[in-house]
Structure 1
Amino acid sequence: MSQRGFQMVSLVEPAVSAPVERPDVYFSAFGPDPSWGEVSPEAQPRGPNMTRSYSALRAEALARYPKGAAPGGVGVDDIVQLKVQNTYDTHLDIARAMAKVMRADMAAYDADVSKFTQSLGCWSGFHAQQMIKAVKRLRGTAKGTYVYLSGWMVAGLRNRWGHLPDQSMHEKTAVADLIEEIYVSLRQADEVALNDLFAKLKAARAAGDAAAEAAAIAEIDGFESHVVPIIADIDAGFGNEHATYLLAKELIKAGACALQIENQVSDAKQCGHQDGKVTVPREDFIEKLRACRLAFEELGVDDGVIVARTDSLGAGLTQKVPVSQRPGDLASDYIKWLKTEPMGAPAEGELAIWKDGAFVRPVRMPNGLFAFREGTGRARVIEDCISSLNEGGADLVWIETDTPNVDEIASMVAEIRKAAPKAKLTYNNSPSFNWTLNLRKQVRAQWIGEGRIAEADYPDGAGLMSADLDLTELGQEADRRLKAFQTDIAARAGVFHNLITLPTFHLTAKSMDELSRGYFGEDKMLAYVATVQREEIRRGVSAVRHQHEVGSDLGDTFKEMVSGDRALKAGGHANTMNQFAAE
């Protein structure tokens, strides 16, 4: 025991293979990379600080401090542990690394459309952390899993002014703050998990078990980070192109490697699934795409991903008529869809468009906005996507639809790919859709058309929602299509990324309703135990040990590092979390 009460550990290196230097990102999205060396082939990059193995870091520390401790008595093994647990120095490092992850995933999807990616919208760091933990328990890896940061949920749940609609009324800083929070939570999940692995290593060394020691080191080197890419919703840019650029920089510095921006007017922005949407001319939108690209480039996120969203399918209005310089340019392609009416010679101060050898008057609404011709949304969507990809340098496009219909989206993508062959989509599997009703309607209509059923066999409209249909042939076929929806849309419609924007909003509402009904009703404590705690235990949800989940054991470890035997630890015999130790 040293003078400060620290236990000195063995300085003999365990029998592991020689360390291998690695680049910041050392895996291919869906397969092992030989450059990993001794690290597990399932490992995912942990950040710039962990491009070397545990053994290499320990050897480096021992070269600096051959006696096994730094000045003041700080142990070499403690230094190495904290270096390993500090997976990223800054969140800008995360943005750079996760952009490379997304690029690798996109390349993997291009080679095999079954390699699509998924995310859920999360409105807190804890939601994101628990999502990634669940995916890792299910699959053994979080590869192909992202976090979606929804502007709707920031407006509805994360702003200072209460619950607001998705109209860009929330503070700009709230979006960056949530990105920061999510990555703090994901990095803490790394720290807690790695601390547990180092506890195994220390126990193995204390027992003199060389095999267990080597196994623990292999687990540390093979550890997969909880840090995954975030696709961040920047709405319509919260202002002009300069405002977009300034906000984009803040989101990127918070860790975002992908920005999703939509082609609506900033000061009239609406949720994509509401009426009253007003789009901007394509030149205006391209300028905002450029603003996002410049923000990425300035901050050294050279692989940053831009998702260009078009709301034109459900938008019937525009704020201004762009200036056309020549036939067939972006402005004229936008103008041609305006609703117009015949007119004579323009009067002074009257707006007119020269079309087909005559002047026509664009139809103007009482609020001064201009209307598009009915039925032109699909054509405008296709042109929007082509211009965003080919002129604006977008990496992915997002088509906001009014129903979930694979055939409809696939047909639009087929048109887009005639001009942009490598077009890939991000698709919103939105809670704004009544999925049960939509899919049952689609099955019913198809089967009637094929003569498989008569119209009277199943109800039409809202009647299709009946629980009595759940186990019928139609109900089961609709559920089969729901289960296959993301796979189908990835294969047939070029959807690289499937997301649900607001699942944690609805899940929180449902879960609180379920618990409250029982707890404040007849079941009292049984409601909590049966619906929450037992399920946590039986599913292996680590949050059942809530003290450990928020870093209590991690804190104890640090106290030991600096205080040795004097450490006042929380994890002793009186800690009630010990009741869950076997879980």
Structure 2
Amino acid sequence: MLFNRSTSRTLKKLVSSPGKSLRAYSSKAKSTEDFLSSESAKVEKWWASRRFQNVSRPYSAIDVVKHRGSLPANTSVYPSSHQARKLFNLLEENFKRGTPLHTLGVIDPVQMSQLARCKKIKVAYISGWACSSTLVGSTNEVSPDFGDYPYDTVPNQVERIFKAQGLHDRKAFLEASIKGSVPVDYLKPIIADADMGHGGPTTVMKVAKLFAEKGAAAIHLEDQMVGGKRCGHLSGAVLVPTATHLMRLISTRFQWDIMGTENLVIARTDSCNGKLLSSSSDPRDHEFIKGIIKENVVPWSEKLIEMENKKVSNSTISAMEQEWYHENELFTFEEALAKSLTSGEFETYKAKKEDLMTNKLNRTYLSLREMKLLAQEVAPSKKVIFDWDAPKTKEGYYMFKGCIEAAIRRSLVFAPYSDLIWLETKTPDLEQARSFSSEIHKFFPATKLVYNLSPSFNWSAHGFDDKALKSFIWDLAKEGFTVQLVSLAGLHSDGVSFWELANNFQNDGMKAYVEQVQRREKESNCDVLTHQLWSGAEYVDSLMKVVQNGASSQTLSTSGESFTETQF
């Protein structure tokens, strides 16, 4: 420690009047203790409210207060928390009625404003895929959705949309206050895509903080690996262990508790379709990891490195990979067990397993070690060969059996620590959704579910007639899938409408524009027809009149004689 004159003077005071210094110290300590106690009581009361009646936390109120600093939480008021309360009430109401909160993904303020004018659409959605592929972020790059863009990309899009919502809300409220009408509700709660959280616990917390600061009422986090993330409808996605994703959900909640906000977190699982797992560290995943049932097989990763060292061509490596996995069929441990035991022995194994989990361990899984011990007990004379390391990828990823059972197991772990559960599917399947909902609601009857009405699905190829297509959303809602979204609706509608316009404009000129845009805007009452009014010109005029006490209202008004929109 370095001593200077100031330090020396402080030490002299402590020596000369120790009682006074200790009393001051004691007073400050007591004050801090009282503050911690008072704020913790407020947090506990807050947690006891209806908003959090179905939410679990592995930490205490004092943990939250100690990390907030000396400012009480109510000194920082986040608009997103107000939007979150609005969303929570909508969820409760619709879940109780079995009706949907269905919406479309928007990519800009224009689409947001048109969505808001639809009274039966109550929420807005912002997609990470759309941001990755259409929004120029800080790197000026657009790309497929691999989650490899800067982690503030989607929060910044949320801020853009939320600020636009605010402008249109103020504009509509001013108009309603003058005309005595009911304003359009432009403040639809925003649900946003947080991908996989973009990192470890502290990164997840920073991402959650950004979303809350910038206006998202809710975010969803998926159980994919940072660096191995793919769009849910691409191959090659790498899942993380159950515990890793649980940590992300807890980190998000902890951050929002520190901020004093009520934002909602959606736990999404891609395990229904996932084929790879980053680690075998969590025993809850062991039942779904696949291996080979042959002895003394050279692991694929070893063969791969050997071929790379020999400069074998890519095409040869690809062919050898297919050959290796063809010769070494993959099974989960219990699938391998079923091939090694008699049917009677396997039935005995399953009965003992159920008894062990239900009556002794009180859990829904066994680790690989426990499954092997149980198999040895049932059939001590038989050797069960199972190797889940040999088929691992070059990166060390395990082969995973993606299935609805895996999605259910993970979701049951995530449910207490999240506000909604998102099942990501490969096809639009009502029966699959119903079976998932049934299992989740056996244990958590109040859990709301989320469904992606993905444009990646070829809806016409899945046996839907017009009647079934029209009722699908409402049928899903009856099963507890309260939030439903066409994630990339804005992207596709933007693409097809502008393509049709551009394609015809190149030959028909203004005839194409008037027919495809202006006339349709008039006929459908689209308010972007008068785009100056849509952008808030009259609202700004009103601000100027207040500031200038009416002076220059004729000369500087945007609605003067040069205002072309009087033609409509």
Work out whether the TM-score is over 0.5: yes
- Please give the secondary structure, in 1, of the residue aligned with 2:145: coil
- Inter-CA distance 256–120: structure 2 relative to 1 (3 Å threshold): same
Match of 1:318 in 2: 277
Partner of 2:558: 570
Of 386, 396, 401, which residue of structure 1 is paired with 2:412? Answer: 386
Amino acid at match of 1:126: V
Q: Report the secondary structure of 1:315's partner residue.
A: coil
**In the alignment, which residue of structure 2 is the partner of 1:438?**
462
State the alpha-carbon separation in 2 of the partners of residues 487 and 185 from structure 1: 30
Q: Distance in 2 between matches of 1:342 and 1:487?
A: 46
Match of residue 124, structure 1, among 85, 108, 113: 108
> How many residues are treated as equivalent by the alignment?
411
Q: Is the 8 A contact 1:353 1:361 kept in 2?
A: no
1:36-77 Cα deviation digits (max 9, x unpaired): xxxxxxxxxxxxxxxxxxxxxxxxxxxxxxxxxxxxxxxxxx
Q: CA deviation at 1:387?
A: 0.7
Larger radius of gyration, structure 1 or 2?
Answer: 2
Q: Which residue of 1 aligns with 2:451?
A: 427
Q: Any idea what the Cα deviations from partners look like across 1:285-342, whole Å, max 9, x if unmatched?
A: 11000011012212211x32111101011111101111xxxxxxxx322112111235
| CA-based RMSD | 2.5
Q: 2:130 is matched with which residue: 147, 153, 161?
A: 153
Task: Letter of the 1:181 partner, please give it.
Answer: R
Out of 161, 171, 182, which is 1:192 matched to? 171
Task: Name which structure has the greater RCO, CA cutoff 8 Å, separation 6+.
Answer: 2
CA distance in 1 between partners of 2:153 and 2:567 (Å)? 39
Q: How does 1:49-448 map to 2 (within 5 A)?
A: 93-114=78-99, 116-133=100-117, 135-136=118-119, 145-158=122-135, 159=137, 160-200=139-179, 216=180, 219=181, 222-301=182-261, 303-322=262-281, 331-342=282-293, 354=369, 355=372, 356-357=375-376, 360-363=386-389, 364-372=391-399, 374=401, 376-390=402-416, 393-440=417-464
Q: Are residues 321 and 488 of structure 1, via their aligned partners in 2, closer, same or farther at CA, if it must alter by over 3 Å?
A: same
> What displacement does 1:343 show?
7.2
- Structure-1 residue corresponding to 2:526: 541
Task: Please list every run of 5 or more consecutive structure 1 residues that lacks an aligned counterpart in the other structure.
Answer: 1-27, 29-89, 201-215, 323-330, 441-477
Deviation sequence 1:450-489 (CA, Å, 0-9, x none): xxxxxxxxxxxxxxxxxxxxxxxxxxxx111111110011
Cα distance 1:361–1:288, how it changes in 2: closer, same or farther (>3 A)? same
Partner residue, 2:314: none
Q: For the residues of structure 2 that align with 1:423 and 1:273, how far apart are their CA atoms? A: 25
Q: Percent identity?
A: 27
Q: Check whether the contact 1:317–1:369 (CA below 8 A) recurs between aligned residues.
A: no
How far apart are the structure 2 equivalents of 1:128 and 1:496? Answer: 21
Supply the distance in 1 between the matched residues of 2:537 and 2:511 (Cα, whole angstroms): 28
Q: Which amino acid aligns with 2:250?
A: R
Q: CA deviation at 1:195?
A: 2.9
Using the alignment, how far apart are the partners of 1:110 and 1:432 within structure 2?
A: 27
Query: Where in structure 1 do 4 or more consecutive aligned residues deviate above 6 Å?
Result: 343-347
Unaligned runs of 5+ in 2: 1-49, 51-74, 303-366, 377-383
The residue identity in structure 2 corresponding to 1:514 is: E
Contact 2:220 2:266 in 1 (8 A): yes
Shift in Å at residue 532 of structure 1? Answer: 0.7
Range that drifts further, 380-389 or 533-542: 533-542
Query: Structure 1 residues 419, 196: closer, same or farther in 2, change over 3 A?
Result: closer
> Which amino acid in structure 1 is aligned with residue 116 of structure 2?
I
What residue identity is the alignment partner of 2:456?
S
Specify the code of the residue in structure 2 equivalent to 1:98.
Answer: Q
More helix by share: 2
By how many angstroms is 1:92 displaced? 5.7
Asked if structure 2 preserves the Cα contact closer than 8 Å seen for 1:519 and 1:528, the reply is: yes
Post-superposition Cα deviations, 1:538-580, rounded to whole Å, max 9, x if no partner, equal 2211111111111211122222222223231120133111112
User: How far 1:359 moved relative to its partner?
Assistant: 7.3
Q: 2:489 aligns with which of 493, 503, 515?
A: 503
Q: Structure 1 residues 304 and 333 mapped into 2: Cα distance closer, same or farther (>3 Å)?
A: same
Instruction: Specify whether residues 92 and 127 from structure 1 end up closer, same or farther in structure 2 by C-alpha distance, changes over 3 A only.
Output: farther
Structure 1 residue 180 displacement after superposition: 0.7
Letter matched to residue 154 of structure 1:
C
Given that 1:91 and 1:183 are in contact with CA atoms closer than 8 Å, whether structure 2 keeps it comes out as no
Q: Does structure 1 retain, via aligned residues, the 8 Å contact 2:279–2:398?
A: no
Instruction: Determine which of 532, 540, 560 is the counterpart of 1:555.
Output: 540
Contact 2:95 2:480 in 1 (8 A): no
Counterparts in 2 of 1:419 and 1:562: CA distance versus 1, 3 Å: closer
What corresponds to 2:361 in structure 1? Answer: none
Letter in 2 for 1:151: G
Secondary structure, counterpart of 1:339 in structure 2: strand
1:225 & 1:109 partners in 2: Cα distance?
A: 18
- Summarize deviations over 1:344-367 as a string: whole Å, max 9, x none: 7999xx9x9532346742143332
Kept in 2, the 8 Å contact 1:161–1:170? The answer is no
